[in-house]
Structures are given as structure tokens and as C-alpha cells.
Amino acid sequence: MAVSAASGAGYAAPALTNLGSGQDPVPDTSGPNSTPHTFALSVPFPTPLDAEIALGSLAPDAEPQPGVIGKELTASVSTLAIRWTAQDVRLLRVSVLSFLEQLSLVVQTMQRFGPPVSR
């Protein structure tokens, strides 16, 4: 499984917002001039058909906030590729973790029921 994460070229640390009352400062990544965060994941499958089945199972799940976070899924040969973009790193993290849970369920189901049977 290949993973890459980036915050764009010429990355500058975001400003910190102080929450007060003993809470740690939190980076402010939601401004109009903030660089979008990206995360890419490549998941190899045993066969191209397995990658297509996984894509078909995972693609219908649209992001709940489509204007705030983008997710693109593609299958090439026997690899499922996913790429996220978001202004808010916390929403990006939530989306990636949710997707990984769904991916785990899809892979477990495929392993449990075995390869597709041709008719």
C-alpha cells in the first residue's frame, strides 16, 4: 500500500488559534489563502477485477460535505487509487479514517466470499 500526503509547494506553517482555558492552540487551516491539503492512497489487489469490485463498492459513498472535501477514486490495472483534497486537515483526517474502515469491510467481505463466479 502506498501513501503520500502533501500540503502544496512552499508550505508555510498555519497561524495558531488560542482556545484559552488550558486548551492547546490549534492551527487555523480554514482561511481563504490556506493551501489545500492532499492525501493519496494506493491499494493493490490480486487482480484487476478485484480492484474494480472494490471501486464499485466504495465509489457510491459520496462525501457528506462535497464542497469542503474532495475524494477521487480510480482503478488502474489491479490498483485502487484514492486522492483526497481539503482545506481543513481535521476533516481530511475524518474522511480518510472513515474510508479506511469501509475499505477494510469491503476487503474482508471479498476474502470471505472468495473470487467472483463467472456465469
Q: Comparing 21-30, 43-52, 72-81, 106-115, which segment has the lowest mean pLDDT?
A: 21-30
Residue 14 domain-assigned? no
* Phi, psi dihedrals of residue 98, rounded to the nearest 5°: -65, -45
Would you say residue 86 has pLDDT above 60?
A: yes
Residue 42 domain-assigned? yes
Residue 28 domain-assigned? no
Residue 90 domain-assigned? yes
Residue 77 domain-assigned? yes
| Residues 42 and 48 sit within 8 Å (Cβ to Cβ) | no
Would you say residue 6 has pLDDT above 70?
A: no
| pLDDT at residue number 107 | 96
Q: What is the domain range of residue 104?
A: 1-6+36-119
Residue 89 domain-assigned? yes
Distance CA 34, CA 7 (A): 9
Domain count, the chain: 1
Would you say residue 67 has pLDDT above 90?
A: no
| pLDDT at residue number 112 | 94
Residue 29 domain-assigned? no
| Residues 54 and 101 sit within 8 Å (Cβ to Cβ) | no
CATH code where residue 90 lies: 3.30.310.50
Give the DSSP H or E segment for 2.
Answer: strand 2-6
Q: Mind listing the pLDDT tens digit for each residue in 9-61?
A: 333 444 444 444 455 554 555 555 678 999 999 999 999 999 999 999 998 77
Residue 20 domain-assigned? no
